[in-house]
Chains A and B, each alone.
Chain A
Amino acid sequence: DTEVTQTPKHLVMGMTNKKSLKCEQHMGHRAMYWYKQKAKKPPELMFVYSYEKLSINESVPSRFSPECPNSSLLNLHLHALQPEDSALYLCASSQAQPYEQYFGPGTRLTVT
């Protein structure tokens, strides 16, 4: 199984809402990533978890809160987002050694 799944596929939320994005992989990968991608741009790294510990936080605003409950799951909690946070949010995973990442299909987020 070489699949990374993400739910939901689409999400529309108001600026006062609280929502969560979910990512799951069953490849035994010990590193998991959140990226933000705007249209026609490369992915921007937000967070990296390695062995369920946060290892990289790219100075992301606190309205984004990651969580890694176990080695297969990664969540991104969203609160008080701004319209400029509308984007495609990608999850990825990789082995602990720095080889290739496997990406999920993404969650298309719209903040109204």
Chain B
Amino acid sequence: AQTVTQSQPEMSVQEAETVTLSCTYDTSESDYYLFWYKQPPSRQMILVIRQEAYKQQNATENRFSVNFQKAAKSFSLKISDSQLGDAAMYFCAYRSPGTYKYIFGTGTRLKVLA
């Protein structure tokens, strides 16, 4: 069975600085999808970024980028130029192709300090 591990329960970053959230996963599959979701306090969960395992190129979305290391089964999220609005719970998630089941990590709470 697949597992997703987020080893940092909480992290802090100064406004305008860069922070990296870690995520590792375990799977025997060669094809899968990885996601980072953001859930601000009392607000809706939204997709931050998506990575297909067959793509070698790391996904980027504006200030958000990932470091996808397939062999190491690592999928970290880098947030550049951190903003107060980035404060949220961040969940890493794994999904096998052909299934509707997501496997979520336990989350990392990110605090952004002014």
Q: Taking beta carbons and an 8 Å cutoff, which residues of A are in contact with B? A: 31, 33, 40-43, 45, 48, 50, 55-56, 90, 94, 98-106
Contact, CB under 8 Å: A103 / B101: no
Which of B22-30, B39-47, B62-70, B72-80 is the interface stretch? B39-47
C-alpha gap A99/B109 in the complex (Å):
24
Chain B interface: which size bin?
Answer: 20 to 34
Known interface pairs A48-B101, A98-B97, A100-B50. Does A105 touch B107 (Cβ–Cβ under 8 Å)?
no
Minimum CB–CB distance for A106 against chain B, Å: 7
> Could you say which residues of chain B place their CB within 8 Å of the CB of A33?
100
Measured between beta carbons, the chain A residues less than 8 angstroms from B100 are: 31, 33, 48, 50, 55-56, 94, 98
A103 to B46, CA, bound (A): 7
Instruction: List chain B positions with a Cβ less than 8 A from chain A.
Output: 33, 35, 37, 43-47, 50, 89, 91, 95-102, 104-107, 109
Q: Are A45 and B109 in contact (CB under 8 A)?
A: no
Q: Please measure, in the bound complex, the distance between the C-alpha atom of A17 and the C-alpha atom of B106, giving whole angstroms.
A: 32
Q: Could you list 16 examples of A-B contacts with CB < 8 Å? A: A31-B100, A41-B107, A42-B105, A43-B45, A48-B100, A48-B101, A98-B33, A98-B95, A98-B96, A98-B98, A99-B50, A100-B47, A100-B50, A101-B47, A101-B102, A106-B44
A46 to chain B, nearest CB (A): 11
A85 and B107 CA atoms in complex are apart in Å by: 21
User: Which of chain B's residues has its CB closest to A42's CB?
Assistant: B104
